[in-house]
Amino acid sequence: MSSELVRSFYAAAEALAPEMIARRRDFHRHPELGFQEVRTAGVVTRVLTDLGLEVRTGVGQTGVIGLLEGERPGPTVLLRFDMDALPIQEENAVEYASTTAGVMHACGHDGHTAIGLTVARLLTEARAGLAGTFKFVFQPAEEGLGGARAMVADGALEGPVPVASFGMHLWNTKPLGWIASTDGPVMSAADRFTVKLHGRGGHAASPKESRDPVVAAAHIISALQSVVSRNVDALDQAVLSVTSIHAGTAFNIIPETAEILGTVRTFTPDVRDRVIERFNALVAGLATAFEVESSVEYQSGTKAVSNNAELAARVRELAAFVPGVTHIVAGERTMGSEDMSEFMDDRPGVYFFVGSRNDERGLNFGHHHPRFDFDERALVTGAALVAAAAADYTARAA
Ligand SMILES: [Zn+2]
Ligand SMILES: [Zn+2]
């Protein structure tokens, strides 16, 4: 039964490949940054409306939601696709290269939007055999600007309330035919911090008159390296990176202030709490030791994306029936972050990766690289698998 479901969606997706690729290339030519996806949202709205879906626009500024009701009653599931591009100047010389200077689809969200529209069509055409309601969420501003949070604040999770959520990312570090659907945590929580140190400025020739925030900053940065190595269980994962330090204006002046910025990545609340606790203690203790004042601004960013084990396993089972899929893994994790977590939160969800790299064709640059591009055959794989996973879930839960 599930093998037939997957194969029929795959065949239908393959037949729609020319349309899906044309759309992906159109989005690629016209990339738009977070919360500015006006043209993209317009295309999405038109396609969903033409399919006969109930469409809501302007959700979280430029987000679009389409609702499709199956013929039989059943649960509501959320299917999420992101639409935004990045502030990167494209260096590919393809005919569908970006026509907007300094903006590029370098993460594959052009592909995700095209996949989403194809999934909407696949499920609309299969509607007679479907149970439940499918909520297509086309999200703006995934790249660190909080698009998912904006959509949730605008009621994306209300009326009808989804009981499960599905999302995916094309994955260019792995080849076409590779699928990862991981049990549990898959993408990390991403927090950011700013440490401000206030000392006493003065002449560099008489440091004893000053309270040097540069020396204090140097010791704090060194000490922060011990948090992950000494305070986090060796079997857990965390990253603490100091990425920016600013102080001073001249070679002969001890500055008054210093500022340190960075990020913390963790998978579980326990580890996150422990890292924050040690972070604060080290900053406060060393500031006291070096006679400077300190303040910490710690901003909790995206939460970790954590897959429901049962749903993740089901996606792996279904993936095995997708033609061309040769590698299915359960343990892929990344310290990157994703605001898909906003839609998963308390409800079971799964976020999986679809290999899209092709070394022979030179489609093997990483995400966010000015030469990023992927094998478009992955669009068919992605569309078939998302459609099958969602339809399978509502059929079994109905
Ligand atoms: Zn990205
Ligand atoms: Zn992305």
Active site residue 84: yes
- Surface-to-core class of residue 259, CB atoms within 10 Å of its CB (0-12 exposed, 13-18 middle, 19+ buried): middle
Backbone torsions φ then ψ of 23, nearest 5 degrees: -65, -45
- C-alpha 25/C-alpha 28 separation (Å) is 5
State pLDDT tens for residues 116-164: 999 999 999 999 999 999 999 999 999 989 999 999 999 999 989 999 9
Q: Quote the tokens at residue 117.
A: 């529209």
Closest listed ligand to the CA of 305: 2
Distance 189 CA to ligand 2 centre (A): 15
What integer best gives the mean pLDDT of the chain? 97
Closest by Cα among 318, 382, 364, 371 to 174: 364
Q: Which domains does the chain have, with CATH numbers?
A: 2-186+305-397 (3.40.630.10), 189-299 (3.30.70.360)
Distance 216 CA to ligand 1 centre (A): 35
Residue of 32, 37, 84, 256 with catalytic role? 84
Residue of 142, 143, 256, 339 with catalytic role? 142
Residue 370, amino acid: P
Active site residue 142: yes
State pLDDT tens for residues 258-293: 999 999 999 999 999 999 999 999 999 999 999 999
CB 236 within 8 A of CB 271: yes
- C-alpha 114/C-alpha 306 separation (Å) is 25
> Could you tell me which residues come within 8 angstroms of residue 136 by beta carbon, excluding any fewer than 6 positions away?
48, 53, 65, 66, 67, 68, 79, 81, 116, 119, 120
- C-alpha 263/C-alpha 247 separation (Å) is 19
166: enclosing H helix or E strand: strand 164-175
| pTM of this prediction exceeds 0.85 | yes
Per-residue pLDDT for 314 more than 80?
yes
Q: Give the model's confidence band at 89: pLDDT under 50 very low, under 70 low, under 90 confident, else very high.
A: very high
